[in-house]
């Protein structure tokens, strides 16, 4: 029987980041409701809870080698899906004070970096 691949420190960090963020979607949903762009074909609260559940499930999925590849794809899809919320925030910085406008803009290039980290963390090592 092959030895179980333990998550690396980087995988543990990403799992904690996404799981923690997902939990916040349920603890403070109004914070996340505000960043849902208008025109989405579902209520903001539904989008908040669905994205929070996905973050929790996929964050936890990174911890075990069997679901890790699926969790990677789930998190990548989630990061693509929430990118419009980040763009929306940069277009309307006055709605998100006290966050500085430069901070909202700084989040945009961090998204591809986070995607790269998820891509690498979601691989099972041989």
Q: Please indicate, yes or no, if residue 3 is contained in any of the structural domains.
A: no
Closest alpha carbon to 75 in 28, 17, 29? 17
Q: Is the pLDDT of residue 7 over 90?
A: no
Q: Please indicate, yes or no, if residue 77 is contained in any of the structural domains.
A: yes
pLDDT of residue 4: 61
Question: pLDDT of 20-39, one tens digit each?
Answer: 999 999 999 999 999 999 98
Q: How confident is the model at residue 77 (pLDDT cuts 50, 70, 90)?
A: very high
Q: Is the pLDDT of residue 1 over 50?
A: no
Q: Mean pLDDT of all residues in the chain?
A: 90
Contacting residues for 36 by C-beta, under 8 A, at least 6 apart = 44, 47, 48, 85
Q: Please indicate, yes or no, if residue 107 is contained in any of the structural domains.
A: yes
Question: How many angstroms separate the CA atoms of 47 and 69, rounded?
Answer: 24
Q: In which domain, by residue range, is 111 found? A: 9-122
Q: pTM score, two decimals? A: 0.87
Q: Please indicate, yes or no, if residue 99 is contained in any of the structural domains.
A: yes
User: Please, where are the H alpha helices in 1-100?
Assistant: 9-27, 29-33, 44-61, 68-91
Question: How many angstroms separate the CA atoms of 76 and 70, rounded?
Answer: 10
Question: How many angstroms separate the CA atoms of 85 and 21, rounded?
Answer: 15
Domain count, the chain: 1
Span 57-82, mean pLDDT?
A: 94
Q: What angle do CA 46, 50, 56 make, to 5 degrees?
A: 145
Span 72-91, mean pLDDT?
A: 94
């Amino acid at each position: 029987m092959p030895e179980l691949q333990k998550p690396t420190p980087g995988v543990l960090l990403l799992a904690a980041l996404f799981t923690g963020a997902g939990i916040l979607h349920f603890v403070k949903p109004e914070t996340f409701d505000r960043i849902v762009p208008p025109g989405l074909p579902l209520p903001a609260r539904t989008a908040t809870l669905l994205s929070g559940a996905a973050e929790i499930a996929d964050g936890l999925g990174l911890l075990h080698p069997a679901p890790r590849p699926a969790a990677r794809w789930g998190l990548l899809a989630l990061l693509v899906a929430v990118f419009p919320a980040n763009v929306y925030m940069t277009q309307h910085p006055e709605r998100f004070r006290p966050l500085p406008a430069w901070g909202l803009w700084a989040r945009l290039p961090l998204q591809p970096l986070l995607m790269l980290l998820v891509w690498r963390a979601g691989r099972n090592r041989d």
